[in-house]
Structure 1
């Protein structure tokens, strides 16, 4: 069986932040810039609290079967909740979306590369 790669996005919003927590997040904002976000195994947090309370975690996981995406999504949600809770950040409205990359359509460049490989 082949390994499938999953991209899981967990979104939510900070809730009830103290002035100190808000300042802490602002100070760390360059590390969590939305423009440099990536899907990683440990999860990458992106936010811009200067604009709004919203955040996004991006996780990369894998499994062998299509059904493994459910477990991967649950792990991602738990990891996001744990990260926030360990730091004392309140949050609300967590939602998640997962994509099985083996099911994703190929881009034009990928189709062209595949065609060259089969020629």
Structure 2
């Protein structure tokens, strides 16, 4: 069975950060820059110094089929939830979008 590659973006807002969590996130903010953060299979979390909003960008491969986009959206959201959970930070207002990289045409 063939697979399809999706670029999934999960956007949300940090929620209930305490001073220690804010300090830890700020200490690593250079690794999570909004401008240089790209899509990767392990996912890339990006946020700014204000620590309000964030985005998580991840490459997801799913089996081709009628539910592939829904599967990609779910996988991307779970990836973001896992990443945020590993950091021990709260979040809310998750919004998920996906683009199938296989459908992107490059003009030359």
Looking at structure 2, the residues matched to 75 and 23 of structure 1 have their Cα atoms a distance apart, in angstroms, of: 29
Per the TM alignment, residue 23 of structure 1 is displaced from its structure 2 partner at its CA by 0.7
1:37-52 residue pairs with structure 2 within 5 A?
Answer: 37-48=37-48, 50-52=49-51
What TM-score do the two structures reach when normalised by structure 1? 0.80
* Whole-angstrom CA distance in 2 between matches of 1:64 and 1:88: 31
RCO higher in structure (CA 8 A, sep ≥6) = 2
1:99 aligned residue: 99
SS of structure 1 residue aligned to 2:27? helix
Shift of residue 52 of structure 1? Answer: 4.4
Q: Residues 30-69 of structure 1 correspond to what in structure 2 (within 5 A)?
A: 30-48=30-48, 50-66=49-65, 67-69=67-69
Residue equivalent to 2:107: 111
Specify every segment of 5 or more residues in structure 1 that has no aligned partner in the other structure, as ranges. 113-119
Residue segments in structure 2 that go unaligned for 5+ positions in a row: none
| TM-superposed deviation, 1:86 | 2.9
Shift in CA distance, 64/79, structure 1 to aligned 2, threshold 3 Å: closer
Structural RMSD (CA): 1.6
* Runs of 4+ residues deviating >4 angstroms: none
Structure with a larger share of its residues in helix: 1
Aligned length: 107
